[in-house]
Structures are given as C-alpha cells and as structure tokens.
C-alpha cells in the first residue's frame, strides 16, 4: 500500500503555475504485520479473556462448573490459564507445520481435528447440561479466536516465527 501527498503552495496558484510537490511513502503490508508468535500470544490472551468472562458469567448464573459430583468447581482462573497455554501449544504446532509444503492446510487439518476431539470429554463427564454447554462453548471460542490467526500468518519456511 502506498500513500501520496500533494502540496500546492499559494504562490504557485497565484502565479497561475501549478507546481505540485508529491511525497510518496510506501508501506509494505508485511512490514506492518505482526510476526506469527506475537499474533498468537495476543490471540491467546484475547481468547483467555473471553473464556474467563464466559466462566465468570456461568459462575454468576449458578452453573456448577464441576466435572464430577462432589468436586470443586473449575475456577475462572483455570479457564483463563488453560486457554492461554493451549494457544501457545497452537503456536508450537504452527512452528512444526511450517516445514510442510502446505503448512496452512496441515495446521488447519490438525487444529480442527484437535478441536473436535476436545469436544468429546465434556460429553463424557458427570456434569449438568449447563456445565457441558459452557465447556463446549469455551473450547469453540478458543478455537475460533486462535486458529484463524495462526493460519492467516503461517507461510512455508516462515523465518519470523
């Protein structure tokens, strides 16, 4: 993307001569783009914050966020920490995938498969339906916020991971 600025001086306009001075600054789209690791950390922080909010809302709505009867509820901080760590694991997966001929396709295939697998345990635990829904939603929110960021920035042999 490049931008150009044209300056016309009052003297030039008054004299009937239109002399324009044009200054052009070129900005490469890639130079303003964050490296994949920075984008992944920011996406992980954002996903962790959103999942923390979801967990806090669930706690305030008296959803028993426990996966086994008689066990303590999963704390809001637990949702935040696990989401952030899983986002960083996604970055590690992206680093491994970048050596592939089709890194984006490989990353998406593995990440979507892992997301699908992550949806199974909440269905198998001894929990209320509301708890299962919250767990499923937080898994999907994390995937929806982190995977596209990684996939959009992954390139073959990406030197700035």
**161 within some domain:** no
3-state secondary structure of 44: helix
Residue 19 reports pLDDT greater than 80 = no
Both 70 and 7 in one domain: the answer is no
Both 70 and 105 in one domain: the answer is yes
Residue 68 has a pLDDT of 85
- Tens-digit pLDDT profile for residues 95-146: 999 889 999 999 999 999 999 999 999 999 989 999 999 999 999 999 999 9
Place of tokens 């982190």: 146
The whole-number average pLDDT for the span 30-48 is: 86
The whole-number average pLDDT for the span 11-15 is: 50
Beta strands (DSSP E) in the chain are 2-7, 21-26
The span from the CA of 108 to the CA of 114, in Å, is: 10
Both 6 and 57 in one domain: the answer is no
**59 within some domain:** yes
Residue 32 has a pLDDT of 60
Domain total for the chain? 2
The whole-number average pLDDT for the span 22-46 is: 72
- Structural domain including 4 reads 1-32
Both 58 and 69 in one domain: the answer is yes
Structure-model confidence comparison of residues 12 and 61, the more confident one: 61
Both 65 and 28 in one domain: the answer is no
Both 7 and 79 in one domain: the answer is no
The whole-number average pLDDT for the span 82-98 is: 96
**136 within some domain:** yes
- Tens-digit pLDDT profile for residues 41-69: 999 999 999 999 999 999 999 999 998 88
- Which tokens belong to 153? 């920035």
Q: Contact 118/78 with Cβ under 8 angstroms?
A: no
């Amino acid at each position: 993307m490049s931008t150009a600025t044209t300056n016309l001086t009052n003297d030039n306009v008054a004299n009937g001569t239109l002399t324009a001075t044009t200054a052009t600054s070129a900005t490469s789209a890639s130079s303003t783009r964050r490296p994949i690791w920075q984008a992944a950390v920011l996406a992980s922080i954002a996903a962790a914050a959103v999942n923390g909010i979801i967990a806090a809302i669930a706690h305030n709505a008296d959803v028993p966020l426990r996966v086994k009867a008689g066990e303590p509820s999963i704390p809001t901080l637990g949702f935040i920490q696990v989401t952030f760590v899983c986002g960083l694991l996604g970055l590690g997966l992206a680093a491994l995938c970048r050596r592939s001929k089709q890194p984006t396709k490989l990353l998406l295939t593995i990440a979507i498969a892992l997301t699908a697998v992550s949806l199974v345990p909440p269905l198998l635990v001894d929990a209320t339906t509301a708890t299962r829904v919250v767990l499923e939603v937080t898994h999907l929110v994390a995937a929806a916020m982190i995977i596209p960021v990684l996939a959009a920035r992954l390139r073959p042999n990406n030197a700035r991971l």
